Amino acid sequence: MTDIPPAEALRIRRRPRLAEAVVEDLVKSIVTETYPAGTALPPEGMLGDIYEVSRTVIREATMALTEKGLVVSQQGRGTIVRDAGAWRMLDPMILSALFQREDGLAHLDNVSEIRSLLEGAMAGKAAQRRTPEEIAELTEQMAKLGRLIPHPAAYVHEDVAFHDIVMRISGDKLSKAVIDGVQAEALRNHGYNGKLNVEHVRQTHAAHEAIYDAIVAGDPDRACQAMRDHIESSWARRRAARKPRR
């Protein structure tokens, strides 16, 4: 990943909202292969007619697509869609579009795999690094989760907080940033969240207890395995409950 200079980040934030709407639609069209890799986007004038915007807005949108690694301008050919290997996959718009593809379930599987590997390792680090104050914070969060078992929607909110505390205790800021970025878009997808029910929450809480016990005991191997088992089994239940796409 490449850091965006502050001046460039400010310019991006100031981009007109109209251009952002065009960008979002074009990102989806590219990622879902309405415009496959190697093909050219329609000319500026045609895009302007399609979206009913000025050429200036189209140029701003094209610049944003370039920043995301989706397109490249080629002399004599126009704006060419790049292969997926060049895309900035952690970009929120790209992630959102990936989950909407026909093979979106495979990408949600990948989110679970990423979480399992990174959060498992982070739970192990948390078991090694935890302080009495951090154990107290985790204990308080577990008590809060226990009270919310009959209320699935509220439990899910505090579930995220539990994982956040474990990741923070691990001290692994880079892995946390990757997980936060990938999961933020996945959580917007109903297929990733699944249908909430009390039985699922009970199973989830039992898994949280196993993670908590291992961290408090200072057992990194057990904490790592408990976290991986939790993430993988939870996704397997949600995945199995998905309605097949027509």
pLDDT digits (tens, 9 = 90+) for 91-120: 999 999 998 898 888 999 999 999 999 999
* Structural domain of 111: 104-240
For the domain that residue 44 is a member of, what is the CATH number?
1.10.10.10
Per DSSP, the chain holds a count of helices (H) and strands (E) of: 12, 2
DSSP letter at 213? H
User: Do 83 and 191 have their domain in common?
Assistant: no
CATH code, 158: 1.20.120.530
pLDDT of residue 184: 81
In the chain, the number of structural domains is: 2
Bridge partners for 81 per DSSP = 71
Distances (CA, A) of 72 to 38, 56, 182, 194: 10, 18, 25, 38
Integer angstrom CA distances of residue 198 from 28, 37, 159, 220, 235: 35, 45, 14, 30, 16
Confidence check: pLDDT of 7 > 60: no
For residue 245, being part of any structural domain is answered with no
Co-location of 82 and 117 in the same domain: no
Q: Which residue has the higher pLDDT, 182 or 166?
A: 166
Same domain, 109 and 213: yes
Query: Is 140 within the bounds of a domain?
Result: yes
What pLDDT, on the 0 to 100 scale, is given for residue 160? 92
- Across the range 56-73, mean pLDDT stands at 95
Determine if the pTM surpasses 0.75.
yes
Given this model, what pLDDT does residue 245 score?
Answer: 52
Residue 230 in contact with residue 207, Cβ under 8 Å? yes
The answer on 197 and 161 residing in a single domain is yes
Rounded to whole angstroms, the Cα distance separating 23 from 60 reads 9
The answer to whether position 39 is within a domain reads yes
Within 8 A by CB and 6+ apart from 195, the residues are: 241
State which amino acid sits at residue 113: E
DSSP 78-130: EEEEPPGGGS-TTSHHHHHHHHHSTTHHHHHHHHHHHHHHHHHHHHHHHHHH-
Each residue's pLDDT tens digit, 222-234? 999 999 999 999 9
The percentage of residues in the chain with a pLDDT greater than 70, rounded to a whole number, is 89
Residue 179 inside a domain? The answer is yes
Q: Tell me the pLDDT of the chain averaged across its residues.
A: 89
